[in-house]
Amino acid sequence: MDMKKINWFPGHMVKTRREITANLKLVDAVIEIRDARIVASSQNPEIDKIVGDKPRIILLNKADMAEDQVTRRWKKSLENENTLVLEVNALTGKGLNAIKPTLNELLKDKIARNKERGIVNYTIRAMVVGIPNVGKSSFINRMAKNAIAKVGNRPGVTKNKQWIKTKEGIELLDTPGILWPKFEEETSLNLAFTGAIKDEIMDTETLALRLIERLSHHYKERLIERYALEEFSEDPLENMDNIARKRGCIIKGGEIDYMRVAVMILDEFRSAKLGKISLEWPEVSDD
């Protein structure tokens, strides 16, 4: 496949890694956000190394657009001693009320130690990390919406860090750590399908064609239903042509308007008009 390479300046990666590592020292826990539709592709390749054994919550965000059963399997496969996983929707706030209890659980030893030392209302501090478009800003905004107050600069203590105080009493570092994605073909395709990287890796028509091809594995019925297809072909291009005809994406002379049909298919997928769709599954499942 002729795919343009996505660029992430190596110097930028070094700087980001350094910044996040420095910020880690200021927080009790990390809130890593991923896209529930592409849980593997929306992971930064170095995140485990960067976070180490720091307590971590992984938010499988946009769970409203992924298949519930698949998201649940991801949750199971990702959880371990230091990591707990929540299925959330940062736009509506669904699932976010579990964050405080989950942080309490992850930090129970620390909280108990503090209690012994007489600190009863310990304020948990966390930082948000994730690759672009997973919903970091939406999440921070949503949490801050109920904020009692935004804590200002505390020179000398936090070195100009701004903290957002949530109603639950958590303090979030107000600027998320923006990480880079993996630069692999499969990952790039998934990111492009979901719109995380704009249609920059290949032309829109090819991207839509690849999406039809992908969806025909597990979600053939959705395509048939959505576009009222009378027959489903082995050939994605033939399906694309049929979708175009069904939707009147035709130029004068009866030719297919590929740009129009491509944009339409991508838009409909990205706005979940094809229903809840998961593009990736965990490798092992103990279901």
As annotated, the binding site for GTP includes: 61-64, 133-138, 177
Q: Cβ closer to ligand GDP: 47 or 244?
A: 47
DSSP letter at 228?
A: T
Is the distance from CB of 47 to CB of 62 less than 8 angstroms? no
Q: Cβ closer to ligand GDP: 34 or 165?
A: 34
* 280 Cα distance to chain centroid: 12
Least distance (Å) from ligand GDP to the CB of residue 142? Answer: 8
Query: In the set 24, 31, 65, 240, which binds ligand GDP (CB under 6 A)?
Result: 65
Least distance (Å) from ligand GDP to the CB of residue 145? Answer: 13
**E strand or H helix at 30:** strand 29-35
Residue ranges of the annotated binding site are 61-64, 133-138, 177
Q: Which of residues 123-182 bind ligand GDP (CB under 6 A)?
A: 130, 132-138
Q: Cβ closer to ligand GDP: 57 or 240?
A: 57
* 74 Cα distance to chain centroid: 13
Q: Cβ closer to ligand GDP: 45 or 195?
A: 195
Residues in Cβ contact with 204 at an 8 Å cutoff, skipping those fewer than 6 apart: 259, 262, 263, 266
Terminal-to-terminal C-alpha distance of the chain: 35
Stretch of 83-91, 165-173, 225-233, 262-270 lying at the interface with ligand GDP (CB under 6 A): 83-91
Q: Is 89 in the site for ligand GDP (CB under 6 A)?
A: yes
Q: Which is it for strands 125-130 and 171-173: parallel, antiparallel or unpaired?
A: parallel
Query: In the set 8, 13, 64, 222, which binds ligand GDP (CB under 6 A)?
Result: 64
Q: Is 77 in the site for ligand GDP (CB under 6 A)?
A: no
Is the distance from CB of 168 to CB of 123 less than 8 angstroms? no
Least distance (Å) from ligand GDP to the CB of residue 191? Answer: 12
**Cα 92 to Cα 99: distance, rounded to the nearest angstrom:** 15
**Cα 265 to Cα 274: distance, rounded to the nearest angstrom:** 9
**Cα 17 to Cα 180: distance, rounded to the nearest angstrom:** 10
Q: Cβ closer to ligand GDP: 130 or 181?
A: 130
Chain residues binding ligand GDP by CB under 6 A are: 61-62, 64-65, 89-91, 130, 132-138
